[in-house]
């Protein structure tokens, strides 16, 4: 059932051929047993064309094939990151700092991004493994004897929140506030929610950023706000934009990936059994689950009139790039829908493609792997404790709740 | 084409032939060198194409940029001769370059 009022459709512009117009709402919610990634398959498999166009959410193109989606994500000459949400969020109109560096194009993007990269590189992520493990174990020990839990709120959202707040030297008690605001931006509950939630994040992070500017702290916020771009210290708005994106991105996305991975495992006792009997498979299994269930679908703005896969795209058109349809493209991954823990290791695109590829991907995958290891040690057999789940698509796909149960 | 040699920690050795327009990371990926990941695709952003440059070859390489230097501090098992292989463009005078692979990229 549709519980959220859909954004009113706009008229189909003359340069969009009627045969590729679909009624597709990125923020669709559905209750059932079909995860949001597979809704993208329904959309793609109903089209013979590599692009579709929907009048919802301001009207936008959707790239449907892996190769085209990778082009949209990585070719900044044709596709700008100035706007990545549909409908667009106009930061200048609402005086909120734009999230950085996700909304920057080259050549500006590189130096901003270079501030973030070292914070979540392989070395520091490895140093966080013990923290992640103890956080996961602590949450699990709190609920495992109950024989049931609501996975998203009891575990999946709490781990990334605890980790990113520890890295940011912020109180863990603020996790729910930041997490809710972050969800409001990526999955707005009403038409103004994206903008209002973004303002809420700004109101939270601006004082924190201001306090740490000029200090010598080694926490990620201090490192960001005291970062330099081409020799100059970051401006105040830029610093806030960087901080809110770094912290917000780490909260919302990783929990969603864990949710979809556990939804799959809950319904596949054979796969649970295999991992419990062969725990050395868990790292590969975690990678495969991350491949099978990508959650991000960001947009790009077309920079100038172009011809793209046979269609005429106009300046300022928005085009959506669902990562699920890269990893689930048969041309790129054989039997892509199958979850195969023996699949040869290969780079996938859950974390995007090109210079905007998510810098937190290594951290997120490490959290998923350790969460799975700690969970299966304590809860080797579990199942869904509901007939259906409330799934939600969006810039970041999500699920409202994932009730699980097990014998204890 | 130029030759690139990768030495693994376990003593294993692998030689590849790569075109001049490629970075060493790209050449390693194209040839299925398992120890080089290169997640970000060549932007010195991820630190997963880390290699150790054999002493005989270090002086032939252009020095790392500030961005690469910052990443070399946060790769796994860094050494004085660490480089990101995505930042090394193959050239005639690098024909035969010898690189060590770290125990792990993660």
Quick check: B47 contacting A, CB < 8 Å? yes
- Which tokens hold the place of A91? 């930061």
Rounded to the nearest 10 degrees, the angle between the axes of helix A158-168 and helix A236-266 is 150
- Tens of pLDDT, residue by residue over A168-177, are 999 988 888 8
The whole-number pLDDT of residue A7 equals 66
- Which tokens hold the place of B77? 């098992």
Closest Cα to residue B45, out of A401, A121, A193, A291?
A121
Rounded to the nearest 10 degrees, the angle between the axes of helix A361-378 and helix A282-292 is 120
A52 — pLDDT class (breaks 50, 70, 90): very high
Q: Which residues of chain B have pLDDT under 70?
A: none
- Tens of pLDDT, residue by residue over A263-318, are 999 999 999 999 999 999 999 999 999 999 999 999 999 999 999 999 999 999 99
Do A20 and A52 meet the contact criterion of CB atoms below 8 Å apart?
Answer: yes
Please list every residue in chain A whose beta carbon sits closer than 8 Å to the beta carbon of residue B106.
Answer: 122, 125-126, 362, 366
Closest Cα to residue A249, out of A185, A204, A191?
A185
Candidates A70, A74, A123, A345: best to mutate against B (most CBs of B within 10 A) is A123
Nearest CB to A122 within list B43, B47, B67: B47
Q: B95 vs chain A: nearest CA distance in angstroms?
A: 28
Q: How far apart are the first and last CA of chain A?
A: 35
Please list every residue in chain A whose beta carbon sits closer than 8 Å to the beta carbon of residue B75.
Answer: 121-123
Nearest CB to A121 within list B41, B47, B66: B47
* Residue indicated by tokens 């003593």: B11
Quick check: A191 contacting B, CB < 8 Å? no
Q: Which of residues 4-43 of B touch A (CB under 8 A)?
A: 37-41, 43
CA-to-CA distance for A399 and B8, rounded, in angstroms? 43
The answer to whether the Cβ–Cβ distance between A110 and B67 falls below 8 Å is yes
Quick check: B102 contacting A, CB < 8 Å? no
The whole-number pLDDT of residue A6 equals 55
Question: What value does the mean pLDDT take over residues A103-123?
Answer: 96
The whole-number pLDDT of residue A4 equals 43
Please list every residue in chain A whose beta carbon sits closer than 8 Å to the beta carbon of residue B102.
Answer: none
Quick check: A117 contacting B, CB < 8 Å? yes
Do A86 and A60 meet the contact criterion of CB atoms below 8 Å apart?
Answer: yes
- Which tokens hold the place of A289? 């689950």
Residue A193 has pLDDT above 90, yes or no: no
The whole-number pLDDT of residue B50 equals 98
CA-to-CA distance for A23 and A395, rounded, in angstroms? 17
Q: A102 vs chain B: nearest CA distance in angstroms?
A: 14
Average pLDDT in chain A: 94
3-state SS class at A393: coil
Do B5 and B99 meet the contact criterion of CB atoms below 8 Å apart?
Answer: yes
Question: What value does the mean pLDDT take over residues A184-199?
Answer: 84
Residue A254 has pLDDT above 50, yes or no: yes
């Amino acid at each position: 059932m549709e519980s959220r009022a859909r954004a009113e459709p706009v008229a189909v512009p003359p340069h969009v051929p009627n045969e590729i117009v679909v009624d597709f709402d990125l923020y669709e919610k559905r209750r059932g047993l079909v995860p949001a990634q597979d809704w993208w398959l329904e959309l793609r498999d109903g089209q013979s064309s590599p692009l579709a166009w929907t009048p919802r959410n301001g009207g936008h193109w959707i790239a449907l094939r892996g190769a085209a989606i990778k082009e949209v994500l990585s070719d900044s000459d044709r596709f700008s990151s100035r706007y990545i949400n549909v409908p667009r969020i106009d930061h200048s109109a609402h005086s909120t700092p734009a999230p950085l560096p996700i909304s920057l194009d080259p050549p500006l993007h590189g130096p901003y991004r270079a501030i973030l990269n070292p914070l979540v590189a392989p070395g520091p992520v490895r140093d966080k493994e013990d923290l992640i493990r103890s956080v996961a174990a602590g949450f699990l020990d709190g609920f495992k004897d109950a024989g049931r839990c609501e996975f998203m709120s009891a575990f999946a959202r709490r781990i990334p929140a605890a980790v990113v707040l520890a890295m940011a030297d912020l109180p863990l008690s603020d996790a729910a506030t930041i997490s809710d605001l972050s969800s409001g931006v990526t999955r707005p509950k009403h038409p103004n929610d994206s903008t209002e939630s973004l303002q809420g994040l700004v109101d939270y992070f601006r004082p924190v950023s201001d306090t740490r500017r000029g200090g010598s702290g080694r926490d990620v916020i201090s490192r960001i706000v005291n970062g330099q771009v081409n020799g100059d210290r970051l401006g105040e708005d830029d610093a806030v934009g960087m901080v809110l994106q770094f912290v917000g991105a780490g909260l919302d996305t990783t929990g969603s990936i864990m949710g979809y991975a556990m939804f799959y495992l809950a319904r596949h006792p054979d796969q649970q059994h295999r991992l419990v009997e062969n725990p050395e498979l868990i790292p590969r299994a975690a990678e495969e689950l991350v491949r099978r269930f990508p959650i991000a679908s960001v947009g790009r703005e077309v920079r100038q009139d172009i011809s793209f896969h046979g269609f005429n795209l106009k300046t300022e058109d928005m085009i959506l790039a669902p990562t699920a349809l890269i990893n689930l493209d048969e041309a790129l991954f054989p039997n892509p829908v199958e979850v195969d823990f023996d699949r040869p290791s290969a780079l996938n695109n859950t974390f995007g493609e090109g210079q905007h590829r998510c810098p937190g991907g290594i951290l997120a995958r490490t959290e998923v792997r350790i969460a799975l290891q700690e969970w299966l040690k304590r809860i080797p057999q579990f199942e869904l404790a509901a007939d259906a789940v409330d799934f939600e698509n969006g810039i970041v796909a999500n699920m409202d709740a994932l009730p699980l149960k097990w014998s204890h | 084409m130029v030759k690139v040699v990768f030495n693994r920690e376990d003593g294993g050795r692998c030689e590849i032939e790569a075109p001049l327009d490629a970075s060493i990371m790209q050449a390693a990926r194209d040839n299925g060198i398992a120890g080089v990941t290169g997640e970000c695709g060549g932007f010195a952003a991820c630190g997963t194409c880390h290699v150790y440059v054999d002493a005989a070859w270090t002086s032939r390489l252009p020095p790392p940029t500030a961005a690469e230097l910052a990443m070399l501090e946060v790769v796994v098992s860094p050494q004085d001769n660490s480089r990101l292989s995505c930042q090394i463009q193959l050239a005639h005078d690098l024909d035969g370059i010898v690189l060590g692979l770290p125990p792990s990229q993660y």
